[in-house]
Amino acid sequence: MPELPDVEVYLAHLRRRIVGETLDRVRVATPFLVRSFEPPLRSAEGKRVRELRRVGKRIAFGLDDDLWIVLHLMIAGRLRWREREAKIPGKVGLAAFDFSSGTVLLTEASTKKRASLHLVRGETAVRDLDPGGIEPLDADVASFAAVLRSERHTLKRALTDPHLFSGIGNAYSDEILWRARMSPMRPTSAMTDEQIAILHAATQSTLREWTDRLMAETGDEFPEKVTAFRPEMAVHGRYRKPCPDCGAPVQRVAYAENEANYCARCQTAGKLLADRSLSRLMHGDWPKTLDELERRRTGNR
Tens digit of pLDDT for each residue in 245-301?
Answer: 999 999 999 876 778 999 999 999 999 997 655 554 444 555 666 666 565 555 555
- Most confident of the ranges 115-124, 222-231, 275-284: 115-124
- Domains (range + CATH), the chain: 4-128 (3.20.190.10), 134-301 (1.10.8.50)
Please give the pLDDT value at position 300: 55
Side chain identity at 301, as an amino acid letter? Answer: R
pLDDT over 90 at 99, yes or no: yes
Provide DSSP, 194-261: HHHHHHHHHHHHHHHHHHHHHHHHHTTSPP----S--TT-SSTT-BTSBPTTT-PBBEEEEETTEEEE
The mean pLDDT of 54-76, rounded to a whole number, is 97
Please give the pLDDT value at position 281: 44
DSSP state of 42: G
Q: How far is the C-alpha of 269 from the C-alpha of 290, rounded, in Å? A: 9
pLDDT over 70 at 220, yes or no: yes
Q: How far is the C-alpha of 29 from the C-alpha of 26, rounded, in Å? A: 10
Please give the pLDDT value at position 282: 46
Please give the pLDDT value at position 277: 52
Q: Over the stretch 155-195, which tens digit does the pLDDT of each residue have?
A: 999 999 999 999 999 999 999 999 999 999 999 999 999 99
Mean confidence (pLDDT) of the chain: 92
Q: Are 238 and 261 in contact (CB under 8 A)?
A: yes
Please give the pLDDT value at position 156: 97
Q: What share of the chain is helix, strand, coil (3-state, %, to 5)?
A: 35, 25, 40
pLDDT over 70 at 82, yes or no: yes
